[in-house]
Every structure is written in structure tokens, then in C-alpha cells.
Amino acid sequence: MATALHNLSDYDLSKIPDASNMCFGIVVAEWNPDITGALLDGAMGTLEKHGTLPENIHVRTVPGSFELVYGARQMVLHGGYDAVIILGSVIRGETPHFDYICQGVTYGISRLNATQEIPVIYGLLTTNDLQQAKDRSGGSLGNKGDECAIVAIKMAKF
């Protein structure tokens, strides 16, 4: 969670491995497309900034965040990537779907990380309202997509 003390796009440049020989898969949810599009821009821009070739970043979309686990699993099993990033935005609103979706995605991605060989990076924004999502997708608190790209590079190196 971004806080007043931590901007999601801030990191220590000296600690980031060179990513020029790395290959990444990104799976993006179509719900809240303005938010997930901004997360994707951030992730791709940061991967490229650290040397990843655009042709080595493969993006697939899924209808909603709940489908991110399936998408990530397919990429992990069949993609040959150094790491896979999931990007989604779940906004609480008035529906109990929020809790079910967040729990399902969190559990599913944790399970992939515990059982598979390739790291899956958790770029799911879970916010109370649209403004909080905007703040974390290129707004006042930075971009979760940037943070996920940095984590993906570090975990690929790991």
C-alpha cells in the first residue's frame, strides 16, 4: 500500500539489475480500463527503461481481475518468461464481489508462487474508490505498474 511516506514509483536505481536479457509476460484485466491501462503503461515503460526489449514483453488481457490467476498460470506454464506480472483494479463500491475477487486473486497468485518455478508479481489495486485507484496508477502516490516492473526484474534475477 502506498503511504504518504512511500511513492510507488520511487526506487533506488543502483539496486536494479540489468533487464536487457529478460523476457516478461503481463496479464491485464479489462475492468476499470483507464486504471489498468495506466498500470500497464507504467510497467512497460519501467521494464524498457531498465533494458528489456519491447518484443520481449508479451501482454495478454483477461475480462476481469478474477481471471488474472488463470491468465498468469497459462503464462507461467507455457510462456518461457523470467517473470509474469498481473495487473488489475478492484474497486470496493457497493458489492460483496470486492472481497471475493480480492481473496480469490490473492490466494491464487500466492499458490502459483508457492508451487511453480517462475515468480508472479502481484499488481492488483484493491481500493475503496476510484480516486484511490487513480492516485496509485500514475497519480499522487505513483504507479503500482512501475513498482511491479521493478519487483519483476529483481525476482527474475533472484
The reply to whether 97 sits near ligand DLZ by the rule CB under 6 A is yes
The answer to the question of residue 95 lying near ligand DLZ (CB under 6 A) is yes
Q: Is 6 a catalytic residue?
A: no
**What is the nearest approach in angstroms of ligand DLZ to the Cβ of residue 77?**
20
| Only segment of 29-37, 79-87, 125-133, 143-151 that touches ligand DLZ (CB under 6 A) | 29-37
Q: Which of 6, 58, 78, 97 is catalytic?
A: 97
Question: What's the maximum distance between 2 C-alpha atoms anywhere in the chain?
Answer: 45
Of the pair 24, 66, the CB lying nearest ligand DLZ is at 66
Q: SS3 of 147, please? A: helix
66 is in an annotated binding site: yes
For position 101 contacting ligand DLZ by CB under 6 A, the verdict is yes
Alpha carbon distances (Å) from 54 to 47, 134, 157: 9, 25, 19
Cα 31–Cα 46–Cα 113 angle in degrees, nearest 5: 65
Spell out the residues 6+ positions from residue 151 whose beta carbon is closer than 8 angstroms to its own. 121
Under 8 Å between Cβ of 54 and 86: no
Cβ of residue 6: shortest distance to ligand DLZ, in angstroms?
Answer: 24
Percent helix, strand and coil across the chain, each rounded to 5? 50, 25, 30
Write down the least CB distance from residue 14 to ligand DLZ, Å: 35
Report the C-alpha gap between 89 and 56 in whole angstroms. Answer: 24
Stretch that binds ligand DLZ, among 13-21, 83-91, 126-134, 136-144 (CB under 6 A): 83-91
Tell me which residue has its CB nearest to ligand DLZ: 64
**CA 117 to the chain's CA centroid:** 18
The residues in 120-149 that bind ligand DLZ, with binding defined as CB under 6 A, are none
Counting contacts by CB under 6 A, is residue 31 touching ligand DLZ?
Answer: yes
Query: Would you say 94 is a known binding-site residue?
Result: yes
Known catalytic residues? 97
